Amino acid sequence: MATGRSHRPATRGRGIPEATVARLPLYLRALTALSERSVPTVSSEELAAAAGVNSAKLRKDFSYLGSYGTRGVGYDVEYLVYQISRELGLTQDWPVVIVGIGNLGAALANYGGFASRGFRVAALLDADAGLAGRLVAGLPVRHIDELESIVADNQVSIGVIATPAGAAQEVTDRLVAAGVTSILNFAPTVLSVPDGVDVRKVDLSIELQILAFHEQRKAGEDDRQEPDGDVPAVMPA
């Protein structure tokens, strides 16, 4: 979910709805798996199942890309990989900086999935002078005071924040002032950013809370069962 002060339209780029943009990476992941198995074509039903999306929604999403598939044959896997990658801006490399190289920042730096998807980690930054120079995932940790020059030298437009919540706004302001226009925020806080800056927030504890809600509901349903467990105490309407 995007946060921040700016009000954004529900569509991006060439009129592609934000909800469609959010599903494109799911299609791309499923298509990449098919491509690795040298599968030449795929039906909308097969691809929808692999991506965990409803097939009518998939066809609608692909119509925004101008991709309609061929009746009886389906979609050309390689072409769709190219089309979606191009739409997502993945046909070029995106240098990113990670700020806050503690437990999470180091884990993110070690995650190979960024580089393989075109997100090169340009630098790891931390405010702890004692960490400076330490190698994490083969990269030396640099002091936060180098942020501005690193962003400029590497033309970084994406920053990843893995600092404590209390430092995240200050780090955001510095990233934005240096020219970063997209932020992936792992710190549990809402960031304020000027218009033109995109923020995506990742919060695993929120996901767990949602699962806890569903678990509680399931437990509630079990409690309403008769002792032998197969007759509901309250008949559904």
Ligand X SMILES: NC(=O)c1ccc[n+]([C@@H]2O[C@H](COP(=O)([O-])OP(=O)(O)OC[C@H]3O[C@@H](n4cnc5c(N)ncnc54)[C@H](O)[C@@H]3O)[C@@H](O)[C@H]2O)c1
Local structure of 79: helix, strand or coil: helix
Stretch that binds ligand X, among 24-32, 72-80, 93-101, 227-235 (CB under 6 A): 93-101
Q: Residues 19, 11: contact at Cβ < 8 Å? A: no
- How many CA atoms lie less than 13 Å away from 175 in the CB half-sphere? 33
d(CA 110, CA 121): 10
Q: What mask of x and - would describe binding to ligand X in positions 157 to 196, judged by CB under 6 A?
A: -----xxxx-x--xx--------------xxx--------
Binding-site positions read 100-105
Between 73 and 177, CB nearer to ligand X: 177
Local structure of 165: helix, strand or coil: helix
Q: Is 104 in the site for ligand X (CB under 6 A)?
A: yes
Burial 21-59 (b: 16+ CB within 10 A, else e): bebbebbbebbeebbeeeeebbebebbbebbebeeeebb
Between 34 and 156, CB nearer to ligand X: 156
Q: Is 100 in the site for ligand X (CB under 6 A)?
A: yes
Site for ligand X in 20-79 (CB under 6 A): none
Cβ-proximal residues to 6 (8 Å cutoff; 6+ apart), any chain: 193, 194, 195, 196, 197
Q: Which of 52, 102, 194, 232 binds ligand X (CB under 6 A)?
A: 102
d(CA 87, CA 90): 8
Between 31 and 171, CB nearer to ligand X: 171
Minimum CB distance to ligand X, residue 150 (Å): 13
Q: Is 126 in the site for ligand X (CB under 6 A)?
A: yes
Binding-site positions for NAD(+) read 100-105
Q: Is 204 in the site for ligand X (CB under 6 A)?
A: yes
Residue 100 Ramachandran class (φ > 0 left, ψ -120 to 50 alpha, else beta): left
Q: Which of 38, 92, 103, 116 binds ligand X (CB under 6 A)?
A: 103
- Which residues form the interface with ligand X (CB under 6 A)? 99-105, 125-128, 144, 162-165, 167, 170-171, 186-188, 202-204
